Chain A
Amino acid sequence: QLQLQESGPGLVKPSETLSLTCTVSGGSINSSRYYWGWIRQPPGKGLEWVGSISYSGSTYYNPSLKSRVTISVDTSKNQFSLKLTSVTATDTSVYYCAAIVVLVGAAGSWGQGTLVTVSS
């Protein structure tokens, strides 16, 4: 059973870069069975897909965020990461990492989520 855990700063200043890491346990991040994704949820609102990365490093980003997002994978640490540049208050959200089963495109395993607040 895959387990995922987000880590990173809970407070980021406007115009700076948000950086989060997701550590995967119970399975290999090299598995071709999964994409590794980030999903966010502003307080009191719905879910928004941020982007995904395959085991081979191919990336896919939400077009509305594409110019600011980078997702990368570190196979040696069984981790993948999210960087979001030039943040504003509208980027304040709970950020979730998830394992997406490639065959059906469904996120079967999620991290617990981490709240990132953008404020000076």
Chain B
Amino acid sequence: DIQMTQSPSSLSASVGDRVTISCRTSQTISIYLNWYQQKPGKAPKLLIYAASSLQSGVPSRFSGSGSGTDFTLTISNLQPEDFATYYCQQSYSTPLYTFGQGTNLEIK
């Protein structure tokens, strides 16, 4: 099984900040890594697929990078609506997928 390690588990930031969230996998997965945003009481929303491709309709302040085992989600110029929980998900072992444990982004 591919293990996912997200860090940090929680993060406090202010509007206008730039934040980065890390996701590390237990084995190399090329670029088969996706990122989701989830707000309380809502279904997750796809932000980034294939490590760095922006899903249609997602603001350009969201970006993803990485390959192999180390990946990063970056949010530039944080907006109030960005405070949420973020998950990474590997799709290398398709279609047996796994999620990271989540990063809770809170307002400082």
Binding site for B on A (CB under 8 A): 35, 37, 39, 46-49, 52, 54, 60, 62-63, 96, 100-102, 104-108, 110-113
Q: Which 10 A-B pairs have the closest CB atoms?
A: A105-B91, A110-B43, A106-B49, A106-B34, A47-B99, A52-B95, A105-B94, A104-B49, A60-B95, A46-B102
Q: Is there an interface contact between B98 and A49, defined as CB atoms closer than 8 Å? A: yes
Interface size band for B: 20 to 34
Distance from A59 Cβ to chain B, minimum over Cβ atoms (Å): 9
Which chain B residues lie closer than 8 Å to A107 at the CB level? 34, 36, 44, 46, 89
A96–B91 alpha-carbon span in the complex (Å): 18
Which chain B residues lie closer than 8 Å to A110 at the CB level? 43-45
Distance from B5 Cβ to chain A, minimum over Cβ atoms (Å): 12
Nearest B residue to A62 via CB reads: B96
Distance from B105 Cβ to chain A, minimum over Cβ atoms (Å): 15
State the majority secondary structure of interface residues on A: strand
Which chain A residues lie closer than 8 Å to B49 at the CB level? 101, 104, 106, 108
Contact with A along B60-95 (1 / 0, CB 8 A): 000000000000000000000000000101011011
Which chain B residues lie closer than 8 Å to A108 at the CB level? 46, 49, 55
A102–B43 alpha-carbon span in the complex (Å): 20
Contacting A at CB under 8 A, from B29-46, are 32, 34, 36, 38, 42-46
Which chain A residues lie closer than 8 Å to B92 at the CB level? 105
Q: Is there an interface contact between A100 and B87, defined as CB atoms closer than 8 Å? A: no
A108–B96 alpha-carbon span in the complex (Å): 16
A52–B97 alpha-carbon span in the complex (Å): 9
Q: Is there an interface contact between B34 and A35, defined as CB atoms closer than 8 Å? A: no
Which chain B residues lie closer than 8 Å to A48 at the CB level? 99
- The contact of A46 among B1, B34, B42, B99, by CB within 8 Å, is B99
A48–B87 alpha-carbon span in the complex (Å): 11
Query: B7 at interface (Cβ–Cβ under 8 A)?
Result: no
Nearest A residue to B34 via CB reads: A106
Query: B23 at interface (Cβ–Cβ under 8 A)?
Result: no
Which chain A residues lie closer than 8 Å to B95 at the CB level? 35, 37, 52, 54, 60, 100, 102, 105
